[in-house]
Amino acid sequence: MERTDQDFKDGLALDLFSPKDRTLVVKQNNSPLPAQFITGTTGEPFVALSTYSYIIQMNETANDLIAKIEIPYDPVQLQKMGVEEANTYVATLAPNKMSWVIDETTRNVHRSENNTRIIKMTSMDGEYLLVGRQTVDTSNIFVQYGQGATRTVNMTGGSGLYVILSSFLTSSHNVWEIASCFMLYTLSHNG
């Protein structure tokens, strides 16, 4: 296994182990697909944090790598754009070239070095773009059952709410929880 650790002038860094010699080519795409087309994660809006993307091509298909790609970000630019460091991602262009894909399981933000990574890669062929989510929340939000500003959540109707209500009613909950859930469902559908 040979290691290649390549740092580029603009801060892009590739670190990979390959069981055999391969040729790798990196190009900049100055007109990438806009960042509002994101799949694989929730929240919005997403914005591009760079004016270009990176296209990485290998001389042969390689699915046997141990690799990571890291792209730097500028904390001052993030602040101006309304993006927190925890909301930065390296997105991969989908095979159909219609969206950018984010995989939360292979994402890593290294705040002390101001870069965001995709880790645990077995292949590097593809196009990559640094994106940011302009959302205040950086993780899942859970609302405790009850009343008051910190214990209520707005819900709108639809078949999804019906499914939640049905499963809620069939599980073991007390009568007040069931009544509250039913009231939320009724209010969202009638008023």
Distances (CA, A) of 28 to 12, 54, 85, 126, 182: 11, 5, 23, 12, 54
pLDDT tens column, 151-178: 555 555 544 444 444 444 444 444 445 4
Q: How many domains does the chain have?
A: 2
Supply the pLDDT for residue 63.
87
pLDDT tens column, 64-87: 899 999 999 999 999 999 999 999
Residues 6+ apart with CB under 8 A from 106: 118, 119, 120, 121
- Do 126 and 159 reside in the same domain of the chain? no
Cβ burial of 28 (10 Å; 0-12, 13-18, 19+) is middle
- Do 91 and 121 reside in the same domain of the chain? yes
- Do 180 and 94 reside in the same domain of the chain? no
Residue that is last in its domain, among 90, 113, 133: 133
CB atoms < 10 A from the CB of 42, how many? 11
The structure tokens 């262009």 sit at 93
Q: What is the mean pLDDT of the chain?
A: 80
- Do 19 and 101 reside in the same domain of the chain? yes
- Do 105 and 88 reside in the same domain of the chain? yes
Q: What is the DSSP code (8-state) at residue 104?
A: G
- Do 121 and 154 reside in the same domain of the chain? no
**How many Å apart are CA 35 and CA 159, to the nearest integer?**
30
Containing domain of residue 150, as a range? Answer: 142-191
Share of the chain above pLDDT 90, in %: 51
pLDDT tens column, 5-25: 999 999 999 999 999 888 889
- Do 164 and 109 reside in the same domain of the chain? no
Supply the pLDDT for residue 179.
47
